[in-house]
């Protein structure tokens, strides 16, 4: 059971990492504060040097190095190193819900990249195609449920895509949020078993509005 738990966390991270387009690089950016967003009671702030988010208190997470250390302990591999020839972590942040009732946990990860694609809509479409291709490689049944650009809290434009798929024999859904800041793209992805996803999607939307991007 524990192997399945960690294996799912790795696969959910891999499905996000494949969204990094050819020619994209890790970057730093100015802080974007969400100070005017109301934080729900019982939520806690999880943060690294580059990112923070409020989530229900049952969630735990950390930076790419902590994720790599956890994976090394279980599998003796480090996906955040093998995915990048310069040995720079591709993940800015990762987290999972310790209260998940499913055998696979609700999970969350964040990528921060730079791209010469000038349009958020074009980047979203390209990301969609990359997810579709990656799902075929993993022999995963994949379906886009919803795709739109909308205002969320203090963010005037967020590319929001919801997908469903079969992975490791489980019915899963993903909510991906892309925020553009100049040439910087923040890619934030929640994933969960179908039943937990349906019950949590409103919280996922709310959590994105509490983020601070640096």
Residue 103's domain is classified under what CATH number?
Answer: 3.40.1000.10
User: Between 107 and 8, whose confidence is greater?
Assistant: 107
Q: Give the per-residue pLDDT at 32.
A: 54
Residue-wise burial string across 184-205, b where 16 or more C-beta atoms lie within 10 A, e elsewhere: bbbbbbbbbbeebbeebeeebb
Predicted confidence at residue 3, as pLDDT, reads: 44
User: Between 4 and 99, whose confidence is greater?
Assistant: 99
Token pair for 133: 């291709």
pLDDT of the residue at 73: 56
Domain count, the chain: 1
Range of the domain at 36: 2-213
Q: What is the pTM of this model?
A: 0.78
The per-residue pLDDT for range 182-198, each reduced to its tens digit, is 888 899 999 998 889 99
Distance in angstroms (rounded) separating the CA atoms of residues 101 and 195 = 10
Residue 136 confidence (pLDDT): 64
């Amino acid at each position: 059971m524990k192997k399945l738990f960690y294996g799912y966390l790795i696969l959910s991270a891999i499905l996000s990492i494949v969204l990094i387009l050819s020619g994209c690089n890790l970057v730093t950016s100015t802080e974007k504060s969400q100070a005017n967003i109301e934080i729900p009671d019982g939520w806690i702030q999880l943060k690294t040097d580059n990112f923070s988010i409020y989530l229900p208190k049952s969630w735990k997470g950390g930076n790419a190095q902590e994720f790599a250390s956890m994976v090394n302990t279980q599998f003796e591999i480090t996906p955040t190193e093998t995915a990048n020839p310069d040995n720079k972590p591709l993940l800015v942040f990762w987290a999972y819900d310790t209260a998940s009732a499913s055998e696979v946990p609700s999970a969350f990860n964040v990528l921060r990249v730079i791209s010469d694609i000038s349009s958020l809509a074009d980047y979203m479409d390209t990301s969609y195609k990359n997810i579709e291709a990656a799902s075929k490689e993993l022999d995963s049944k994949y379906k886009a449920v919803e795709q739109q650009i909308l205002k969320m809290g203090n963010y005037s434009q967020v590319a929001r895509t919801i997908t469903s798929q079969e992975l490791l024999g489980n019915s899963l859904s993903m909510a991906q949020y892309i925020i553009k800041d100049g040439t910087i793209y923040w890619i934030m992805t929640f994933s969960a078993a179908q039943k937990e996803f349906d019950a949590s999607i409103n919280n996922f939307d709310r959590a994105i509005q509490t983020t601070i991007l640096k």
